[in-house]
Chains A and B, each alone.
Chain A
Amino acid sequence: MLPKTSPALRRLLDDVGPVDEAGIQERVTKYTTRSIKHGSKLFGLRLALSMVDLTTLEGGDTPGKVASLCRKALRPHHAPSIPQVAAVCVYPSMVKHAAKHVKGTAVRIASVATAFPSGQTPLKSRLAEVRAAVSDGADEIDMVINRGAFLAGELQLVQDEIVAVLEACGDATLKVILETGELATCDNIRAASFLAMQVLRPGDFIKTSTGKTSANATLGNHQVMLDAIRDHFLATGTAIAMKPAGGIRTAKQALHFLVAVKETLGDAWLTNTRYRFGASALLNELVRQLETQRTGAYQAPWTFTEDSTGY
C-alpha cells in the first residue's frame, strides 16, 4: 500500500468516483421533458402527497400551530380520496405537542435535532437534543452533518458524529442532512452521501438540505444523491432512503423529482418508506392539483389555504 498522503476527501473520491456537473444537468433536464398526464399524473400526485413530511420550523411555532399542522397532515382536504401525508416535521420542543395529535395514527413524527440548521454546537448537546426528541415521541430524527468538519477535511469526524447520533436515535429512523448548498460541488455531495450511507441502517435517509439556506434541493444535487444510493445498494444490498427538502413548491416540480426516482432507483423507491419530500407549501399545491384532476377544473384559490404557514 502507498502511504496515505493525499487528503481524505481525495481518497474517498477515488473510491466512489467523480461526478461531472454538466453531465448531471444534462441528465436531469431530460426528466423535465417527461409528460405526465391523466392517470399517471393522478398516481404521481397522490404518491407525492403520501410522501410529504409536512414541516414547520419557525421560531414562532406554538403548540396551537403544531396542532393545526397535525390536523392538516391527518386530513389534508375534505375530499376523502386525498391521502394522509407521511409525517409531520417539527422542532424537538414541539414533538410532545405533535404526539398528542398523531401518535397512534399512520402519520409519523419527525424532529430536526442536532442544533438544526447549523449543527454548530458541542456534540454532547446535539446528542442530548436527539435523546430528548426521541423520548418525547419522535419516530424520526433529521440531523445535520458537521459541514465545517467536512470542508476542513476531517471526514472521519463527520462519520463518527453520524454514528453517535445513530446510537442516540435508538429505534428512531435517522435522516442525515448533507446541506448540499454548503457542500457546493457535486463531488462533495457524492462523497458526503457515501460517508453517511456507510454507517446508516437500511431504511435510514440521506437528505439534501435544511431549507434554511438559499440553496435548496435541486434536480441536480438530488440526482447525485440518487446515483450514490443506487451504487451503495448494488454494492452492499443496503437500501438507503432519500429526502429532498426545501424549494419544492409546485406539483410539477414534485413530479419531476419522482420521475428521477423512478428512472434512477426504480419502483422499490416509489414509496414513503424510501422517499419523502420535506416541504410545507407543496402540500396545498398537490391538493389543488388533485382537486383539479378530480373535478376537471381549477378551483378558486380561496378553496385552499394559501398561507402555508397557517395550515
Chain B
Amino acid sequence: MRTLDPHSPQIPRLASILILFALLAVTWLVWSGFFKALLLFLGLVSSVLCLWLTIRMRFFDDYLFCLPVGLGFVGYLFWLLREVLKSSLDVTKIVLSPSLPVSPRIARIRAGSEHPYDQVLFANSITLTPGTLSMDVDKGVITVHSLTEEGMRDLMSGEMDRRITALRRK
C-alpha cells in the first residue's frame, strides 16, 4: 500500500528524529518562556516522552515531512475556509428552518491520491466541512454521510479531491 513517492522529500530516519526533538524543545521554550532548571528538565522529559510515543507509532518508518506543505497548501487552506463558511451557512439555514429539510445520503467516494497522508487530508477536509462527514476510510475509498443530497452532489463533483491531488503534482 505504501508506495514511494518520488515527489516527497526524503529525510534520513535519525535526522528526522533529531529535527522533531529540536522542534519540540524549541516549542517548549518559546511557549513557557521560563528558564528555571526544574522547568527545563520537565520540558526535556516531555519532549523525550513525545518522541518515544511517535517512534512507537512507527511515524518515522514512513516519511516525516510528506505533507505537501507549501504555497499550494496555503491556497488550499483558504479554499477550504471558503467551503467551510459556505456549508456552515447552508447547515444553519436547514437547522433554523421550521420544516427541517434534511435528505441524508450515504456514498462511497474514491480518493484520487494513493498517498495515505492525502487520503487523511481528504477525509478530514470532508468532515471539517459541515454537512458532510466521513465515516470510514478503506483502501482509498471513503464512506461519506451527507446531510443533504445537494451536499453529496457537491462532493461528488470532485473539486476537493482534484485540489488535494494537485498539491503533490507540481
Chain B binds chain A? no
